[in-house]
Structure 1
């Protein structure tokens, strides 16, 4: 099945169906993909030795899977990989601003977030693992895979890569101004509104050991000043 043939809506499950603020839910695959594409750090939630562990890590994706990687000694990855029946949870969140209402109770946050559930698959084939690492690298720093040295067989053997299906996902989006403009608090004479938040890439900073003549490649320079998220 090609990307164009994939269902363009997500099927709600007991874990992904919203019980509160249902108006913030989206089951459009395009919204899920946009949230994943706008970030590069996720939070991986696993159970290790009976205790929950949440680990921030970079990720990449294709049409069907989200990929995370780490050392074969990583307890978070090996714990998820060792138990074939253990469901993990991955979240990606973007904060777009504060919602400052007339009362503290009505304050909030404008955000976009995605939460994925599933039993991960450990990649064992070197070609598949290499492709997943390419996706992670290109998602984080487009153009870097073809610029830098690629992983050796020894480095591949030292790396664990997990693939998590995009099939079971919860997407929430909150946007807009405070919603207390027609309440009794509107008579207080207080300012209310939103405080937007944006993040931009800065200028590249060279490794101090590089000769002055070694300049940053074009694909890195081009990101300076652009928005992330």
Structure 2
């Protein structure tokens, strides 16, 4: 996907609802967070119950089972590293998007969102450590100019929040894919922990955007009304 903007200038790039930068190397003092090739941003398909449900540990077992995680799966460190590298790519993009969105937010919101951006860097470092354990060098992020060239036009606060919610959704999807496909059971816990942390961030952004919290559990056993 490509987050492309038509009139956005300066600072770090914020990624649009719909696309992410392609993989290319560049220098960055922190971990690499380039987007996974072919990753698709679809907030409408992912934003509802799943994002909120991931914030609770109650869904861990069913999620892993549904994803096909198996203790008997043959070890494939190379595939595991590729999945984690893709997750790292999305973390870099998100960090850049947060930097782009911050100036458009209200003064009273910026400290909280800056804290969320700092968490993206922490998540990136965690993924880089996991990659190092697998013997793979973390991928390098794009330059700010390269990200900027692929971002959408951010005109106001609403655009900024839509962008940030989209990139959070993409991060969660990428981490869930890693959770479903990693062959090493020891990698599932950190992948799920990161997905839950991103879900919490997505909920914080939804709250800033004025989204209503659910009034009852999503899975109740009750027939649809």
What TM-score results when the alignment is normalised by the length of structure 2? 0.24
Higher relative contact order (CA 8 A, sep 6+): 2
> Given the two structures, how large is their TM-score scaled by the length of structure 1?
0.24
In terms of fraction of residues, the more helix-rich structure is 2
